[in-house]
Amino acid sequence: MSALTFTYEVPGDDFTRAGEASSDVKRKLKQLGYNPEAIRKVAIAMYEGEINMVIHANGGEAKVEVDPHEIRITLSDKGPGIPDVEKAMQEGWSTAPDTIRNLGFGAGMGLPNIKKYTDELRIDTKVGEGTTLYMKVLA
Amino acid sequence: MKVRDVIRILDAEVLVDGNLDTEVKTACGSDMMSDVLAFVKDQGMLLTGLCNPQVIRTAEMMDMHCVVFVRGKDIDPSIVELARSRDIIVLQTRHRMFSACGLLYMGGLRGE
Ligand SMILES: Nc1ncnc2c1ncn2[C@@H]1O[C@H](COP(=O)(O)OP(=O)(O)OP(=O)(O)O)[C@@H](O)[C@H]1O
Ligand SMILES: [Mg+2]
C-alpha cells in the first residue's frame, strides 16, 4: 500500500499562523484512527519544527507521509542553516532574540524536544542554504 | 477539581464555553510555550499571561482541555475563535499568575 502524503507551505512572515500545518496533521491522524500517544508525539515534534522554520528560517515546506505503522515528517527551509548542530541540540541553547522570547519561544528546548518525541531524527543543514529535518514516529 | 471549580476559585470569566464538568487533575503555569512543550506531561490546564494564538496551538498539541489567561489582559477575538474551533475552554481571571496558581493550589489542584 502506498503512503498517504500531505504537503504544506509554512509562511515565514506570519507568526500567528505558525502551527497550522501541525494542527491539520493532528486532526488528520485522529480521523485516520492512529493511537493518541503517536499522534501527540507527531504533533509536538512537528509543531516545534514548524515554529523553528517560522522564527529562524523565514518559513519553509512540510511534507508528511503516513503509513499504518509509521509517520514520516520532512521539514525543509531555505533559511540561514545551523552552524553547529551539536550545540543546537543542547537544552537551553538558542539564538532567538528577545522579540521571540516575548512571543513565548526561544528557550532552546525545541530540537531536544523533537529528539525526545521522535523515533528517528536526522538534520541536514548547510550555512547559507537551509535546513531539512527528517523525523519518524512509529505508530 | 472540575473546570467549574476553577471558574469559582478564580472568579473567572468564560470566554469559550465547554463541558464545565471536565476534570482537571493537574495544571501548569507559564509564559514560555517552549517550556510548556518541553516539560508538560499530562497537565490538562494551562495558566498563562501570554496572549497570542500560539498559546492555543500549544494547548492543542499537548491535548489540554482548558486555558486560563491571567491578569485580565485584552484577548484578541481571533484567539478566542481558534480555541472554540479546537474545543478548548478559555477562561480569564483578574488575578495575576502567582495568585491564580496559589488559589488553585489551596483549592487542591497540584502541578503533577
Ligand atoms: N530551521 C532552522 N533554521 C536555522 N536555525 C535553526 C533552525 N532550527 C533551529 N535553529 C537554531 O538552533 C537553535 C536551537 O533550536 P531550538 O528549537 O532547540 O531552540 P529555539 O527555537 O531557539 O527555542 P525554543 O525551541 O525553546 O522555542 C535555534 O536557536 C537556532 O539558532
Ligand atoms: Mg525551537
The predicted structure's pLDDT at residue B112: 81
| Banded model confidence at residue B110, pLDDT cuts 50, 70, 90 | confident
What does the domain layout of chain B look like in residue ranges?
A: 3-106
Contact of A46 with A21, CB cutoff 8 Å: yes
Q: How far is CA A104 from CA A39, A45, A67, A134, B56, in A?
A: 23, 17, 33, 25, 12
What does the pLDDT read at residue A2? 63
Cα separation, B30 vs B48, in Å, equals 5
Q: Of all helices (H) and strands (E), which one includes residue B7?
A: helix B3-10
- Best of B61, B79, B97 to mutate (most A CBs within 10 Å, chain A): B61
CA of A19 to the centre of ligand 2 (A): 12
- In which residue are the cell numbers 494547548 written? B59
The pocket around ligand 1, CB under 6 angstroms, is made up of A 48, 52-53, 56-57, 77, 79-82, 88, 93-96, 105-111, 131; B 34
Inter-chain residue contact A16 with B52, CB threshold 8 Å: yes
Q: Which residues of B touch A48 (CB under 8 A)?
A: 37
Choices 3.40.1390.20, 3.40.50.150, 3.40.50.80, 1.10.10.60: CATH for B3-106: 3.40.1390.20
Q: Which residues from chain A sit within 8 angstroms of residue B62, using beta carbons?
A: 40, 44
Q: Which residue has the cell 502506498?
A: A2
Report yes or no: B111 and B25 within 8 Å, Cβ to Cβ: no
The rounded Å distance from CA A12 to ligand 2 centre is 14
**Which helix (H) or strand (E) element contains residue B15?**
strand B13-16
- Mean pLDDT, chain B, as a whole number? 95
Q: pLDDT exceeding 70 applies to what percent of chain B?
A: 100
| Domains by residue range for chain A, with CATH | 4-138 (3.30.565.10)
- What is this structure's pTM? 0.96
Q: Give pLDDT tens digits along chain A (139 positions).
A: 568 999 999 999 999 999 999 999 999 999 999 999 999 999 999 999 999 999 999 999 999 999 999 999 999 999 999 999 999 999 999 999 999 999 999 999 999 999 999 999 999 999 999 999 999 999 9
